[in-house]
Structure 1
Amino acid sequence: MKRTLYILALGTFGIGTTEFGVIGILPQIASAFSVTIDKAGWLLSSFALTVAIFGPFVMLLLSSINKKKLMLFVLGIFAISNIMSVFANSFSFLLIARILPAFLHPVFWSIALALAANTLPDNQSSKGVAIVFGGFTLACVFGIPLATFMATLFNWQSSFILCAIINVLSFIGVLLFLPSTLIVEKQTIGSQSKILKKPVFWINFILSFLMIAAMYSIYGYMADFLGKITGMNGMQISYTLLIFGISGVGGNWLAGRFLSKNVLTTILVFIIALLIVHVLLFFYGFYYIPMLLLVMVWGFVHTSGFLISNVNLTSSAPESAEFINSIFTTCGNSAVTFGTLLGGYFIYHFEIKYIIWSSVILLVTALIFWFLKRFSSFK
C-alpha cells in the first residue's frame, strides 16, 4: 500500500515542480521579455486561476474514466507544456503554454489525494495524505531551487527542460508501478451539491483560502525579495530556496502527525507561527545571516500549509473524497492567484519590503475565521 503512496508522491512532485518552479526564475523571465515583475507573476497566478475555475467541473466530467489512464494523460500534457515553454518567443505564448496543463491539474491532485486518504485506515488517513503531499514538499526542496539553479547556470529555458524531464520520470513511475484502479460510477454536480449546502464547508473553505493566499502573497515573489531586499545573487537565491525546501520536509512530516491528533489546534499554531515569521522578515530581511535563519523557520512552517488547508477543507465531506479534493484544488489555486495578485499590488504601489503586510492582513483575517469555526455550532 505504501508503494502506491510513494508513486503518487512522485506524480505530485512533477506537478508541483511545473506549477511552482517559475517562482525562482520570475526575475529572469521578466528581464527576458521586458515585462514588470508583477506581470511576470501572472505565469503563476494564471495557472492557479485556471485550476480554480475549472477544477471541480473537469473532475466531474472525467470521473468515470480509469484513474491510472487519467493520471498518465495529465503527466503527458504537463511534459508537452514544458517543452512548449522552452520554445516560447513571446510572453503571451509562454503564458498560453503555462495555462494548457492547468485545466488537468485538478484531475491528478483529486485522484491522488483521494487514493491517499483511502489507502490507510481511517485513523491514519492524514498520514497517507501527508506522504502524497511530501511529493509537493520535495518539489519545493529540489524542484524549485534546482529550476532556479538551472536558470542561473544556463538560461531560463533550461528550467522548463528540467520540469519536462521530471514529468516524464513521473509518467514512467505511474505507468510501471501504480496498479490500475477500477472505473467508478460517474459523478454529477447534482449528486455532490449537498456538500455546498453545509455552513461548515464554507467556513473551512474561507479559512483554507486565507491561509494559502497569505502563504503565496510573499512566497510567489521570494526570489525578487531575496535579490532586492537581502541583496543575494542568483546562486545564493537558489541555495536559499534549497534551504527553504529542506526545512519544509520536517514541517510537512510534523504537521501530518499533529493533524492526526487535533486538526483545529494545528491550524491555529500554523497561522500564528506564519504570522510571526512574516513580521520578522520585514525587520530582518535586510541582513544575510538572520535571513538565512528565518528562511529555515519560514520553510518549516510554510510547507505544511497546503497539507493543513487540505485536511481542514476535506474534513467537511469525507464521504465524497474525490469531489471535495477537486474543490480543494479550486480553493488552493484561487488562493494562490489572489495572494500572488495582492503581493504584486503591494510591490507595484509600494516598495517590495512592504509586501509582508499583504500576508499579515490575510493571516489576521484567517484568525477571525478560526475563532468562528472554533466557537460555532455548524456541522
Structure 2
Amino acid sequence: MNLGIFILAFATFVAGTVELVIAGILNMIAEDLQVSVGTVGQLVSIFSLVFAFGAPILIALTSRVDRRKLLCIAMTTFLGGNVLSIFSPNYTTLLIARIILAASCSIVVVVSVTMAAKTVAVELRGRAIGIIFMGLSASLVLGVPLGTIVGEHFGWRMTFVLVSMLSVICIAAIMKFLPKVPAQPTIPLLQQIATLKSKKIASIQLISVLELTGHFTVYTYFTPFLQTTMGLSTNMISTVLLIFGAAGIVGGWIGGWASDRFGGVRAILVFLVLLATSLFLLPYATGSITSLLIVVILYGAMVWALSPAVQSYLARSAPDSADIQLGLNTSFLHLGVALGSGLGGFLVDYYPVTTNTWVAGIMVVLALFSAIYSLMKKRSTATSLN
C-alpha cells in the first residue's frame, strides 16, 4: 500500500477527531462560556447536521475541482475553523467555528475515500478504502478521551491547538506526497435520494439513524453521567473513555468478521440486541468500576460493530447502487449523531442524566424493529442477501 493512502487516513483521523472531541470537554466549555452543558452538547448536533446534509451538496458543487487541490482547500478551511475555535470569546463564535469545521470535514472524508480508490490498483481498492475508514473510526473513538486529557491538563482551547498543529502537518504531507487526481463525474443528488424509494433500503438506512441516535443520546453526555452517578475524577473518566474506544476498535473488526462469516443481517440483529441490553444495564452498572467497565466494553464493541455490518447488508441488498448507498449511509450516520446529541441535550437539561440511557435503549430497540422489517421485506421478495 502506497504512502498516500496512509496520508489520507491521517487526514480523516485529524478531521474526524474534531467532531466528537466536544463530548469530553462539555463541562469545561460550559463553565468558560457561561452556558448550560446541554447547550454545549448541541455543538455536536450542529456539526453532524452540517456534515450529513452538507457532504453531498458540497461534493456536487466542487465536482469540477482537482481532488488533491480540493483536499488542500478543505484542510486549510478546517485549520481556519480550529483557529476560530481557539479564540472564540463566546458560544456564538464557537458555533460558527463548528459549522466551518463540519463543512470542511465532510469534504475531507468523502474526497479521501475517492482519492484512495483512484490512486491504487483495482485489486487493492477495497483495502485502501478500509484503511481510510480505520482513520475515521479511530478519530471517532479516540477523539473524546484525547480531548478530555488535553482539556483537563491544559484547558479546552488547547485541544484545538493540537488539532491545528496536526492539520498543518497534514496539509504539508498532502501537497508533497499525493498525486493530482482529476475531478470525476458525480451522480446528481436527486438521483441519489431516489434510490431510497425502496422500503427495504430505506429501512436499512434507518437502522443507522436510530442506532446512532441512541448511542449519542448517552455518549455525548457520558462525562456528566459518570460524574453524577459515580463521582469519578476527570482522569478516571478519561480511562473509561479510552477503554470504550479500544472496545470500539475491536468491535469494528468483530462487525466485519461476523458479517463475512454469518451474514450482515444476522450480525445486525445480534449486535442490536446486545447494544440495547448494555444501554439498559448502564445505570445499574455504576455500583462499582468493575461492573461499569464490563458494560462499557460491551457497549463500545457493539455500537462500532454495527457500522460494517450495516454497510455489508446495504451492499448486498442493493448491488446496483452500492456506492450510492454507502455514501448516503455516511450522511445517515451523522444525522443519527445530530439527533442523539440534540435529544440527549434536552434530556440532560430537564431530567436526571440516567434518563438518557433509557431513551437510548428504546431508540436501539426501534432500530431492531427496523432491521426485522428489512428482513421481512427480503423474504417477501424472495431475494437472498447473504
Q: TM-score, normalised by structure 1?
A: 0.90
Which aligned pairs between 1:226-245 and structure 2 lie closer than 5 A?
Answer: 226-245=226-245
Q: Distance in 1 between matches of 2:189 and 2:138?
A: 34
Amino acid at match of 2:341: T
- Which range moved further: 167-176 or 154-163? 167-176
SS at match of 2:354: helix
Question: Residues 22-79 of structure 1: CA distance to partner in whole angstroms, max 9, x if unpaired?
Answer: 1100111111112111111011111111122322211211223222222222222112
1:201 lines up with 2:201 in the alignment: yes
Q: Give the counterpart letter for 2:216 in structure 1.
A: Y
Deviation at 1:100, TM superposition (A): 1.1
Q: Which residue in the other structure is 2:59 paired with? A: 59
Q: Matches of 1:153 and 1:174 in 2, distance apart?
A: 31
Deviations 1:136-160 (A, max 9, x none): 2322454321221111001111111
Q: 1:82·1:163 contact (CA, 8 Å) conserved in 2?
A: yes
Cα offset, 1:106, TM superposition: 2.6
Do the aligned partners of 1:204 and 1:316 also contact (CA within 8 Å) in 2? Answer: no
C-alpha separation between the residues in 1 aligned to 2:84 and 2:322?
Answer: 33
Match of 2:143 in 1: 143
Q: How many residues align?
A: 378
* Residue 168 (structure 1) aligns with: 168
- 2:278 is matched with 277
For 1:183 and 1:317, the matched residues in 2 are separated by 26
Structural mapping, 1:1-379, within 5 Å: 1=1, 3-114=3-114, 125=126, 128-140=128-140, 142-189=142-189, 191-261=191-261, 262-313=263-314, 323-377=324-378
Structure 1 distance, partners of 2:276, 2:2, is: 35
Rounded to whole Å, the distance in 2 between the matches of 1:38 and 1:206 is 25
What whole-Å deviation, never above 9, does each CA across 1:296-335 have from its counterpart, x for those lacking one? 3322222334444444456565555665454233212211
Go from structure 1 to structure 2 and tell me whether the alpha carbon gap of 1:207 and 1:128 turns closer, same or farther (over 3 Å shift).
Answer: farther
- The alpha-carbon distance between structure 1 residues 345 and 308, as it changes in their structure 2 partners (threshold 3 A), is farther
User: How far off its partner does 1:82 sit?
Assistant: 0.9
* 3-state secondary structure, aligned to 1:227: helix
Q: Deviations over 1:249-282 (max 9, x none)?
A: 2112222223334221222222112112112212
Tell me which amino acid in the other structure corresponds to 1:89.
Answer: P
Q: Could you say if the C-alpha distance between residues 285 and 173 of structure 1 is closer, same or farther in structure 2, counting changes exceeding 3 Å?
A: farther
Gaps of 5+ in 2: none
In 2, the alpha carbon distance for the partners of 1:4 and 1:218 equals 36
Pair 1:168–1:348, CA change in 2 (3 A): same
Residue pair 1:130, 1:256 contacting (<8 A) in 2 also: no
Alpha-carbon distance in structure 1 between the residues aligned to 2:272 and 2:22: 26
Change (3 A) 1:79 1:311: farther
Residues 1:322 and 1:66: Cα distance change in structure 2 (over 3 Å): farther
Q: State whether residues 284 and 290 of structure 1, in contact with CA within 8 Å, keep that contact through their aligned partners in structure 2.
A: yes
Partners of 1:257 and 1:131 lie apart in 2 by 16
Tell me the distance in 2 between the aligned counterparts of 1:54 and 1:332. Answer: 13
Check whether the contact 1:107–1:326 (CA below 8 A) recurs between aligned residues: no
Residues 44 and 167 of structure 1: CA distance in aligned 2, closer, same or farther (over 3 Å): same
Q: Give the direction of change, closer, same or farther, for the CA distance of 1:42–1:15 in structure 2 (3 Å limit).
A: same
Q: Distance in 2 between matches of 1:294 and 1:193?
A: 38
CA distance in 2, matches of 1:179, 1:270: 40
Aligned partners of 1:10 and 1:135 also within 8 Å: yes
CA distance in 2, matches of 1:113, 1:270: 26
Give the secondary-structure state (helix, strand or coil) at the position aligned to 1:303.
helix
Q: Supply the distance in 2 between the matched residues of 1:275 and 1:361 (Cα, whole angstroms).
A: 8
Measure the CA separation in 2 of the matches of 1:215 and 1:309: 15
RMSD: 2.6
Please tell me the residue identity of whatever aligns with 2:372. F
Q: 1:122/1:147 Cα in 2 relative to 1: closer, same or farther (>3 Å)?
A: same
SS at match of 1:285: helix
> How many angstroms apart in 2 are the aligned matches of 1:325 and 1:172?
30
Range with greater deviation from structure 2 (7-16 or 289-298): 289-298
8 Å contact kept, 1:113–1:132: yes
**Matched-pair identity in %:** 27
Answer yes or no: is the 8 Å Cα contact 2:248–2:305 preserved in 1.
yes
Residues 32, 162 of structure 1: CA spacing in aligned structure 2 closer, same or farther, 3 A cutoff? same
> TM-score when scaled to structure 2?
0.88
